[in-house]
Structure 1
Amino acid sequence: MTRLALTGSTTVITGAASGMGAEIARLLAPRGVHLALLDHNAEALAALVSELDGTVTTHVVDLRDDEAVLATARLVQESHPRINALLTCAGSSMLGTLDQLTMEEMRWLVDVNLWGTVSITKALLPALRAAPAAHITHFASVYAMAAPAGRIPYSMSKFAVRGFSEALRHELEDSSVTVGAVYPAGVRTGIILHGRYAAALDPAVAARAAKAQAAMYHTEPADAAAQIIRATERRRARTMVGREARLIDVLVRLSPSGYWRAMRRPLREAVDTTTPLR
């Protein structure tokens, strides 16, 4: 398969104002890659752009709004005639058990993580098809392979992103567009510390669980970003990001229905949103 040349063409990044999206932008800009950066946070986008040189446009959009996504996609295409990569980094987390979460809270997370990914992919697919070669990198998660307690809406949304990515890859197998998913785990971006939690939760209990989860992360964001860029350039279908992701991938393969027995103990504090603080 032809390696994707990003320099001189445009890469579109969602969730670009922070986390992995921002780290990827920081690595691509010095290489002469044109960037279209999407996020709902205008101030954070502006702060990021102040760090970057080269051809960069910013687009403030709520990916849950399909009409706004279509309008943004048109603006991106007007500013960037050569788009050959899309990285869907936008997403959030949610703490709480099924008993603690409301349907509205769970729908919000699925709208952000899944439908936002589907919407921007659909809107930009014609532009990607127009390129001689293009690649879509969807952000799944290690929790798209193994579903822990206390993370139902997050895992549910990421399993769906995985299914969307794989089905779309098969639909496009005779085209110039390839599709892959990355499965990050243990990346020190702060997503769990800044994510949402069920309104029914004691904020102190939620903070304890989030802190326990964050303590298990070992991969530096810049290292993860470099690996994700390589996966995009090589147009990989499936990429594990971080030591924990590789370990869980093996565990799930070895024990598809029993992996939780091995994961329960190390995750016990991170998934505990019911025990009151002493």
Structure 2
Amino acid sequence: MKHLDLSDGTTVITGAASGMGAEIARILAGRGVGLALVDRDAEALAEVAGALTGSTVTTHTVDVRDDEAVFAAAEAIRAAHPRINALITCAGSSMLGDIEQLTMEEMRWLVDVNLWGTVSITKALLPALKQQPAAHITHLASVYALAAPAGRIPYAISKFAVRGFSEALRHELERTSVTVGAVYPAGVRTGIILHGRYAAAIDPAVAARAASAQAAMYRTDPADAAAMIVRATVRRRARTMVGRQARLVDLLTRLSPVNYWKAMRRPLREAIDTTTPAR
């Protein structure tokens, strides 16, 4: 399979206002790649776009949970960018809390963002991608699409589903010009856990302690992760691990698909503790 020439078209990035999405935009702009940046935070999105030079950039303020808005944005992107040959879905959030603390509404909110937002923008842009001689879709899954920890049920639900969606879509499109891959980051210092949501039933001080414990485990710089994601897109990889922790978890779940939690429980004990009162 030939590598994808991103400079020959436009790359659409969701979640482009911060974290890995913003870093990917900076890398691609430096290579002269056309960009369509999507995020719900209009101010932050404009700031990221305003700092980019060397490429044609459009911004699209969209809440990916809103299917109608997503499809309207896709039409606007197609009108502004006649050759879309890559989609990278970085939009997502997190949610702390165990099953007894979380409400159904809270869990559905996260699944709507992480899963259905990914499905919606992919479906909306697929016709444009299929028009190109070669195109690639990169979905950000997570190390928690490989292993499901306690205290992260809605996040694991959404990311395992993104993994399943990516794999099924790859199989559906195997006779087309579009390839599909999923990326499994672990320990990337994006701030997602610190700025994510937590169950309303949790004491805010307890939630902050758990989030800080999780964030302290992150080692990979967002720019390094973004470079790996860009490389995976160019090479049209089906499966990419980002960070040493992701590679270890991938190996662990292969070797012990039922009992891997025994090895993960202790390192994560503080990050998943949303019940012990804060001191």
Instruction: Name the TM-score, length of structure 2 as normaliser.
Output: 0.99
2: CA distance between counterparts of 1:64 and 1:94? 16
Q: The residue matched to 2:8 in structure 1 has which SS?
A: coil
Q: The residue matched to 2:65 in structure 1 has which SS?
A: coil
2: CA distance between counterparts of 1:277 and 1:225? 35
Q: The residue matched to 1:111 in structure 2 has which SS?
A: helix
The Cα offsets for residues 100-141 of structure 1, whole Å up to 9 and x where unpaired, read as 000000000000000000000000000000010000000100
Q: The residue matched to 2:86 in structure 1 has which SS?
A: strand
> In the alignment, which residue of structure 1 is the partner of 2:173?
172
The Cα offsets for residues 18-52 of structure 1, whole Å up to 9 and x where unpaired, read as 01100100111010100000000000001101110
2: CA distance between counterparts of 1:64 and 1:194? 18
Q: The residue matched to 1:155 in structure 2 has which SS?
A: helix
> In the alignment, which residue of structure 2 is the partner of 1:36?
36
Which runs of 4 or more aligned residues in structure 1 lie more than 6 Å from their structure 2 counterparts after TM superposition?
Answer: none
Q: The residue matched to 2:190 in structure 1 has which SS?
A: coil
2: CA distance between counterparts of 1:218 and 1:109? 25
> In the alignment, which residue of structure 2 is the partner of 1:93?
94
> In the alignment, which residue of structure 2 is the partner of 1:46?
46
2: CA distance between counterparts of 1:63 and 1:191? 17
> In the alignment, which residue of structure 2 is the partner of 1:102?
103
Q: How many residues align?
A: 278
2: CA distance between counterparts of 1:67 and 1:186? 34
Quick one: which amino acid aligns to residue 216 of structure 2? A
List aligned pairs for 1:238-257, cutoff 5 A. 238-257=239-258
2: CA distance between counterparts of 1:135 and 1:206? 38
* Structure 2 unmatched runs, 5+: none
List aligned pairs for 1:147-158, cutoff 5 A. 147-158=148-159
Percent identity reads 79
> In the alignment, which residue of structure 1 is the partner of 2:196?
195
Deviation at 1:9? 1.0
The Cα offsets for residues 50-100 of structure 1, whole Å up to 9 and x where unpaired, read as 110120000001111111111100000000001000000000000000000
2: CA distance between counterparts of 1:30 and 1:145? 33
> In the alignment, which residue of structure 2 is the partner of 1:124?
125
Q: The residue matched to 1:121 in structure 2 has which SS?
A: helix
**1:209 touches 1:273 (CA, 8 Å); kept in 2?**
yes
> In the alignment, which residue of structure 2 is the partner of 1:81?
82
> In the alignment, which residue of structure 2 is the partner of 1:24?
24
2: CA distance between counterparts of 1:267 and 1:14? 29
* Structure 1 unmatched runs, 5+: none
Deviation at 1:8? 3.4
**1:205 touches 1:274 (CA, 8 Å); kept in 2?**
yes
2: CA distance between counterparts of 1:135 and 1:82? 13
Q: The residue matched to 1:180 in structure 2 has which SS?
A: strand
2: CA distance between counterparts of 1:9 and 1:134? 9
Q: The residue matched to 1:175 in structure 2 has which SS?
A: coil
**1:85 touches 1:135 (CA, 8 Å); kept in 2?**
yes
**1:8 touches 1:32 (CA, 8 Å); kept in 2?**
no
The Cα offsets for residues 243-275 of structure 1, whole Å up to 9 and x where unpaired, read as 100000000001000000000000000000000
Deviation at 1:277? 1.1
Quick one: which amino acid aligns to residue 29 of structure 2? A
1: CA distance between counterparts of 2:30 and 2:145? 32
List aligned pairs for 1:255-270, cutoff 5 A. 255-270=256-271
2: CA distance between counterparts of 1:91 and 1:8? 28
Quick one: which amino acid aligns to residue 212 of structure 2? K
1: CA distance between counterparts of 2:94 and 2:111? 10
> In the alignment, which residue of structure 2 is the partner of 1:2?
2
Instruction: Name the TM-score, length of structure 1 as normaliser.
Output: 0.99
1: CA distance between counterparts of 2:8 and 2:250? 35
